[in-house]
Structure 1
Amino acid sequence: MPDYLARRNSLREIFQDSAQCAVFFDQVSVRYLTGFSGSNSALYVGSDANQDRLLTDSRYTHRAKTESPDIDIEIESDFIKKLHDLLTLNLAKKIALDPKRTNLLQADSLKDKDKFEIVAKSEILAPLRAIKDEYEIKQIKKACAITADTLWYLINDLRPGINERKISSLLQEGFLKRGADGLAFASIVASGENSATPHHEPSKRILQRGDMITIDCGALVNGYHADMTRTVFIGSCADWQKDIYGLVMNAQAEGRKKLVSGAIAEDVDAAVRKVIDNGKCGEFFVHGTGHGVGLEIHEPVFLTKGVKTKLSKGSCITVEPGIYLPGKGGVRIEDTCLITEGDAEVLTPGSHEIICVA
């Protein structure tokens, strides 16, 4: 089990100069700081560990005690009233809140007609969550292994005549069969001209010989996500398909090469984008190069222009360039990678070369 108290102590170091406590209502932050996975909760992190409180309702009494043994638990129906009691008891006047994860009603209610001051701390947990501990890496590796095993097994059986929705359902079945808790996100299965839409939703379109098919999928294990994409070809591969595939393959390889501790996020994006720009397809690369993966499928650090964050050992980040030609089709290749002291470790193994099946 992770050291959740150590995580809360690290959080205290972040807010201690500007607030006396931090409060969270969102499920991801609460789970990261306590281990609690219930859908209804609030968390008070005080200036001292003995002030910390996990609030939830009576449906989750047993789960909270089981998942969060290192924090005092309060079974409450009115979280705001209890939080006001804790603020008064602990003489706290300033509350650190993440405005990206707290709604206006929650923030306004906490202020209690300006008795308490809200200190906005956008993505306050991002520096902590970006660097995974041993437990987190283990869960992500397991999720990635299940994802890769399932995807490659399925790719080998792709044939003309099967539709996108059936492929999506087979992915879910494969994940569950191999021990996943579920889907990390709704799988993307995009064939033929549909592959020109980066986030296409699986349809009844039937695979045909000569199609390119992009499959973007991930398994979920103990709350942690995997993310992997491959584009393969049904029967044959036209010259124009080979051309854009080669560009994406080389760009993705460059991205993995640049994914080292100390690299600047936007520099990795620029290096990947340069390969595709040089191939005269820059206008068809319409999204960022990658993103962090953990308790959320998309979380900092993001590999995109303007993000000057330095990458650190222990971060799990995707590299996923793509080229999308409207009305024709598209290619995306994606791996979840772990930043180490040396080269990045690819957690979603498998070929990056052109593969034709059926």
Structure 2
Amino acid sequence: MSILQIPKRGFSAGEFEGRVERARKIMHKHKFDALVVSAPPNVRYFTGFDSQFWESPTRPWFVVVGLEGDPVAVIPEIGAPEMALTWMKDIRTWPAPVPEDDGISLLKSTIESFPKKYGRVGAEMGREMSLRMPVSDLLRLRDSLSSEIADGSPCIWEIRMVKTAAEIEHINHICQIASDAYEALPAQISAGETEREIARKLRIDIARRGADATPFMPAISGPGGVAQIVCGPHDRAIQEGDILFIDTGSTFDGYFCDFDRNYAVGKISDDARRVHDALWLATEAGIAAAVPGATTDDVFRAMSKIIEEAGAIGNNVGRLGHGLGLQLTEPPSHRLGDGTVILENMVLTIEPGMEYAPGKMIVHEENIAITNDGPRLLTKRAPREMPVIN
């Protein structure tokens, strides 16, 4: 097992102050007096608060970030002791659950306490966002506020898409953990084992190496390729001629890696070998294209050209990579029409895939950080030749 330098868990008050200061500049651009967030990744981004209690949907939780003053946590009393351990100074609570008024009046008074410049409040109402509160409560809040509640998602994603140095090091650490586990996997498994057994071994190894959780691990096998890459594992036993695909979204201190690896079971077919090599080259092209000032469309085209020349008949994934951070997938998407300009300190996945025969697909994926000196590979690059399981 390689020895990794473990980043310090959590972040300094200065880190969060910097996030809020940057958020305010972007809020001015979008003309918001405040942002109200309720989803766990957004609450964690601004406060550092985390809890396994997110699994309970009974109580809503809110954080309000204004153009001035300290951010305010508006949360159930049960979470106050832990929130007090974060950098947050202003914590307002109610004895949740109170379905007839589950924090809404307290949230309203908190929002109204912030100075008004634009008369607009942003909420998680759009692209790749979700509210962790009943929609009926949002409508009640909207009807009672003196300010307009508008879609804050473009503003929130503009804030979160560019990572801090500390965030990138967290992502790099979990990428290294998973990379080492992937490299060790072929020696731990053999033909005849099931997808489920193999995924269990990999989960255990990733945890043993220091990951906090592995919420996402599809493991799929099939002769010469796989039909899909998001479901499984199943109880199918891998056998000679199969390709075993495994993807992992594992976490360290809340931050995800998201990348896959492919393994040949015994002998690999000539077609699968050719496609695997084409995808390896497409990954190289995608990484090289991901530079500040380029767009996600440019990254897509760089990969798509190689995939098409290799004889792709389809790709049911719908895109060739995406953003990464506190969530397994984040904006932007590498697809035609996305048009996001790539900026320094974004973290992206490069994910070319192709179906080369009906029901036979191969996908590659790596994670990179964008720097002014060129893309920084956060994962350990997949070998050009597919590793073999005997």
Alpha-carbon distance in structure 1 between the residues aligned to 2:21 and 2:315: 45
Instruction: Structure 1 unaligned segments of length 5 or more: list them.
Output: none
Aligned to 2:27: 15
2:273, 2:153 → 1: CA distance? 43
Report what 1:86 is aligned to. Answer: 110
Q: Distance in 2 between matches of 1:157 and 1:190?
A: 17
Residues 90-143 of structure 1 show CA distances to partners (whole Å, capped at 9, x for unaligned) of 465532223133363243121234644213233322122112112111110111
1:204 partner letter: D
- Please report how far the alpha carbon of residue 295 of structure 1 lies from its aligned counterpart in structure 2 after TM superposition: 0.2
Equivalent positions of 1:45-84 (< 5 A) are 45-50=65-70, 52-66=71-85, 68-76=86-94, 77=96, 78-84=102-108
Check if 1:192 corresponds to 2:192.
no
Q: Which segment is superposed worse, 334-343 or 113-122? A: 113-122
| In structure 2, C-alpha distance between the alignment counterparts of 1:118 and 1:98, rounded to whole Å | 10
Report SS of the residue matched to 2:216: coil
Gaps of 5+ in 2: 1-10, 55-59, 97-101
- 1:294 Cα deviation from its structure 2 partner: 0.3
Give me the CA root mean square deviation.
2.0
SS in 2 for 1:219: strand
After superposition, the C-alpha distances for 1:31-82 in whole angstroms (9 at most, x for unaligned) are 11111114352011223124x211222222221011x224311122332111
Which residue does 2:189 correspond to in 1?
158
- Residue type matched to 1:109 in 2? R
| Residues 166 and 113 of structure 1, relative CA distance in 2, 3 Å threshold | same
Q: Map residues 322-333 of structure 1 onto 2, 5 A cutoff.
A: 322-325=353-356, 328-333=359-364
Aligned pairs, how many? 355
Residue matched to 2:388: 356
TM-score, length-scaled by structure 2: 0.85
In 2: Cα distance, 1:70 partner to 1:113 partner: 27
- Residues of 2 paired with 1:57 and 1:205: CA distance? 45
Q: State yes or no: 1:233 paired with 2:264.
A: yes
Residue 99 of structure 2 is matched in structure 1 by: none
Give runs of aligned pairs for residues 297-308 of structure 1, distance below 5 A: 297-308=328-339
Match of 2:42 in 1: 29
The question of whether the paired residues in 1 share the 8 Å contact of 2:64 and 2:111 is answered with no
Pairwise CA distance, 1:200 = 3.0
Pairs within 5 Å for 1:91-110: 92=116, 93-100=119-126, 101-102=130-131, 104-110=135-141
2:49–2:83 Cα contact (<8 Å) kept:
yes
Q: CA 1:112–1:175 in structure 2 vs 1: closer, same or farther (change >3 Å)?
A: same
Per the alignment, residue 282 of structure 2 pairs with 251
Q: Is the 8 A contact 1:190 1:214 kept in 2?
A: yes
Q: Closer, same or farther in 2 for the Cα pair 1:234/1:55, shift >3 Å?
A: same
Which amino acid is the alignment partner of residue 231 of structure 2?
H
**SS across alignment from 2:327:** coil
Q: Which residue of 1 aligns with 2:61?
A: 41
Q: Which region of structure 1 is more displaced relative to structure 2, 141-150 or 345-354?
A: 345-354
Q: Using the TM superposition, give the Cα deviation of residue 238 of structure 1 relative to its aligned residue in structure 2, in angstroms.
A: 1.1
Q: Structure 1 vs Structure 2: percent identity of aligned residues?
A: 25
